[in-house]
Structure 1
Amino acid sequence: MDIISLIKKVKKRDDIIDIQEAYNIYGLLRARYVSTQTVQLFKNFVHDVDWEVVLEKFQKDFENQIDNLQKLGEKFRIIMPNRPPVDVKFATRLNDITDDYIYKKIYHDLVAQLMSLSHAVRTTSTNDNLRNIIIEDLKIHFEDFDILYKFGKLKGWEETYPTYKTAIIQEKEQLSVSEAFHIWDHIVMRYEQLEIIGIFSSFAHDTEFKVILQHGSYVYNKQIKKLEELALKLNVPLPNRAALPVTTPIDPEMITDRFMYRIILSWQLSALDAHLRAIIETIRNESLRRLWTGLLDAELAYYDKYLKYGKMKGWTRVVPIFGEPVT
């Protein structure tokens, strides 16, 4: 069952933002200004023609995001950071600044951008339209990050990372230690989430909320099965599973649906962070990167719908509103 079918039509409030969302617009715009300047600066020192094409692509994406954020700032009357120069030019090239060095600086800059965008998604809860804009920007940044990483591997600019030691010989790319950890960590996380959903299912009062919990259990079980198969294939030890649920003597009225909803919401936020770190730290296995990206996309979509459902029910936190909207 699709969770969105449970969300009733409510009046959208895309004309207001809360105080954290106002800062998110300001902070993301300031970061984009710096990123654009960084790319403009390093383009003066690039030697590889292909590398310059990649940087041009990144700059175009940054400029599109800047344009959107500036419009949002004007709409909601937010004081904007100072704009950078139109371009940064040097008359000479310096051989001491290598393409390899530029790659590493851009790489760390994109990682920082991913972290700031992820935080903005987490803390944009009042204005649904703004959250969707930030989610799309996050996805574009991941596309750029993927292009950058693959380009770095092609050019031989990526480092050699510690290998996960196993008696099974891998046919293609070997696992790094970080990749093996994230497989194990995701299984542990889903086990714990499935366990708490099982407990909450017996306490839920709202019929729709019970259906949502059952749907979440179904989705997590499918993901767990896939992750378990992958762990066995790659010789990653499996953690212990949770004990079977038992009937509890606790009075169901002591645990409210609002409380359970917010616990599940916090778990989803933790899962978003886990998927993001897994993508960034999967530096060898391409198929594994695609798996984490798929989980992140699914989690973002589910989180967005789950948040809207909680807002409809009045179970989410109400953040103070920022200023007055433009009419």
Structure 2
Amino acid sequence: MVLEIIRNKIQKQELRQIDAQEAFNLWDILNSKYHEIERLLILEHFVHDIDLKLLIRYFVGELNENVAILKKEMNKYKVTAPAPNRIIGPPPCNIEMYTDEFIAGEILLYIQEHIENLLRTLRNSMTNDSIRTVISKMTKDSIDNETKIVNYMTLKGWIKKCPHYNSVPASVDEKISAAEAYHLWDHLCFRYDNIQQTRFYLAYVHDIDFRVVLEQGLRKLTLQTEMLEKEIQHFGIVAPKKPTDVIISTGRMDFMEDDYMYRMILIGLQGASMIHTQSLKQCTYNMRIKNIFKKLLKEEIDILGRYVKFGKLKGWLYPGPAFTT
């Protein structure tokens, strides 16, 4: 009974622990939400298209929901919040100053930059799982919102024409942009290197649980690689060289420590999310390919979250400076 009380007390204390970076992340994200709410309320007065007006109101409603969630988290951990956005009235100027195309483009740019900012916060939010869960959901919602505004702008004919990849086989009706062709190739290169690195680490891993995690990761990488190889072949893109499937161990099992290998993979996962974001931003021509990158990015967010929890369980993460009030 006494041990149960102590255990529950420790768990409650852990739930209220955040590090210095997480405190700033909460403040920074909330400040960004406030700024965007005010900007959207201003831009709404210049909008002519009813669909764009409805889209802005939807985004403002979601931003206000996010604000309420962030304020609750900041109150829980006693983090000082930034000043909220101002109340906006009708502008004392000509509403023809801005076109709907320009306003939609501004909204798209913000969402894309906000996704990058949220992913940066996920990269260094390691202490508190609750905060990480909140930011993960907001990131996925922002990814969906990016698709909504791109689809809207595509229907309106407002997406700028980018260079096409002109080496697609004549037998293929589907077309892609130069950026989409590059990102398919780049993602395949990245996964080939990840596969080789994982096989190398498997030759030296000691911890049984870590071995299972690496094997699961290798299977996931293999499935993603096979999918990307089909797309590369479909569009006639020259594929990179495949990695060797034979790794020769030196025989010295003390060559590398598990915690070091874990952190090296963690760095790779953190970098992968930014690679996926660039592909999401730059791929606006072929929506099927864009949705592939969107799916990969969301999967990467979930994988990173599970991997961080595993590292915390093993004690392999460096503890960040604690935030104290």
TM-score (norm 2): 0.93
Q: How does 1:18-57 map to 2 (within 5 A)?
A: 18-57=19-58
Task: Check whether the contact 1:173–1:284 (CA below 8 A) recurs between aligned residues.
Answer: no
Q: What amino acid maps onto 2:307 in structure 1?
A: Y
Once the two structures are overlaid, the 10-residue window that deviates more, 165-174 or 42-51, is 165-174
Q: What amino acid maps onto 1:196 in structure 2?
A: Q
Q: What amino acid maps onto 2:158 in structure 1?
A: W
Task: Check whether the contact 2:199–2:247 (CA below 8 A) recurs between aligned residues.
Answer: no
Q: Give 3-state SS (helix, strand or coil) of 2:165's partner.
A: coil
Task: Check whether the contact 1:37–1:88 (CA below 8 A) recurs between aligned residues.
Answer: no
Structure 1 position 90, deviation (Å): 2.1
The alpha-carbon distance between structure 1 residues 88 and 252, as it changes in their structure 2 partners (threshold 3 A), is: farther
* Equivalent position of 1:311 in the other structure: 312
Q: What amino acid maps onto 1:270 in structure 2?
A: G
Task: Check whether the contact 2:172–2:235 (CA below 8 A) recurs between aligned residues.
Answer: no
Q: 1:178-232 CA deviation, whole Å, 9 max, x = no partner?
A: 1111100110010000001000001000111111111111111111111001100
CA distance in 2, matches of 1:249, 1:50: 63
* Equivalent position of 1:185 in the other structure: 186
Aligned residues: 315
Once the two structures are overlaid, the 10-residue window that deviates more, 20-29 or 112-121, is 112-121
Task: Check whether the contact 1:261–1:310 (CA below 8 A) recurs between aligned residues.
Answer: yes
CA distance in 1, matches of 2:180, 2:211: 35
Task: Check whether the contact 1:282–1:288 (CA below 8 A) recurs between aligned residues.
Answer: yes
Q: Structure 1: state its 5+ residue gaps.
A: 1-9
CA distance in 2, matches of 1:257, 1:190: 21
Q: What amino acid maps onto 2:15 in structure 1?
A: D
CA distance in 2, matches of 1:225, 1:238: 12
Q: What amino acid maps onto 2:318 in structure 1?
A: R
Q: Structure 2: state its 5+ residue gaps.
A: 1-9
Q: Give 3-state SS (helix, strand or coil) of 2:97's partner.
A: coil
Structure 1 position 167, deviation (Å): 4.6
Q: 1:105-147 CA deviation, whole Å, 9 max, x = no partner?
A: 1111111111111111111110001101001001111111111
Q: How does 1:133-282 map to 2 (within 5 A)?
A: 133-169=134-170, 173-249=174-250, 251-282=252-283
Q: What amino acid maps onto 2:155 in structure 1?
A: L
CA distance in 1, matches of 2:79, 2:302: 28
Structure 1 position 100, deviation (Å): 1.0
Task: Check whether the contact 1:124–1:131 (CA below 8 A) recurs between aligned residues.
Answer: yes
Q: Give 3-state SS (helix, strand or coil) of 2:238's partner.
A: coil
The alpha-carbon distance between structure 1 residues 151 and 170, as it changes in their structure 2 partners (threshold 3 A), is: farther
Which protein has greater RCO, CA pairs closer than 8 Å, 6+ apart?
Answer: 1
Q: What amino acid maps onto 1:317 in structure 2?
A: Y
Q: Give 3-state SS (helix, strand or coil) of 2:96's partner.
A: coil
Kindly indicate whether residue 266 of structure 2 is the aligned counterpart of residue 298 of structure 1: no
Once the two structures are overlaid, the 10-residue window that deviates more, 149-158 or 267-276, is 267-276
Q: What amino acid maps onto 2:36 in structure 1?
A: S
What RMSD, in angstroms, separates the aligned Cα atoms of the two structures?
1.6
CA distance in 1, matches of 2:140, 2:247: 41
CA distance in 1, matches of 2:215, 2:98: 56
Task: Check whether the contact 1:118–1:138 (CA below 8 A) recurs between aligned residues.
Answer: yes
CA distance in 1, matches of 2:84, 2:288: 40
Q: Give 3-state SS (helix, strand or coil) of 2:141's partner.
A: helix
Q: What amino acid maps onto 2:74 in structure 1?
A: G
CA distance in 2, matches of 1:131, 1:47: 38
TM-score (norm 1): 0.92
Structure 1 position 172, deviation (Å): 5.1
Kindly indicate whether residue 324 of structure 2 is the aligned counterpart of residue 323 of structure 1: yes
CA distance in 1, matches of 2:219, 2:121: 29
* Equivalent position of 1:7 in the other structure: none
Task: Check whether the contact 2:168–2:175 (CA below 8 A) recurs between aligned residues.
Answer: no
* Equivalent position of 2:90 in the other structure: 89
Structure 1 position 170, deviation (Å): 7.1
Once the two structures are overlaid, the 10-residue window that deviates more, 193-202 or 289-298, is 289-298
* Equivalent position of 1:4 in the other structure: none
Q: How does 1:51-130 map to 2 (within 5 A)?
A: 51-90=52-91, 93-130=94-131
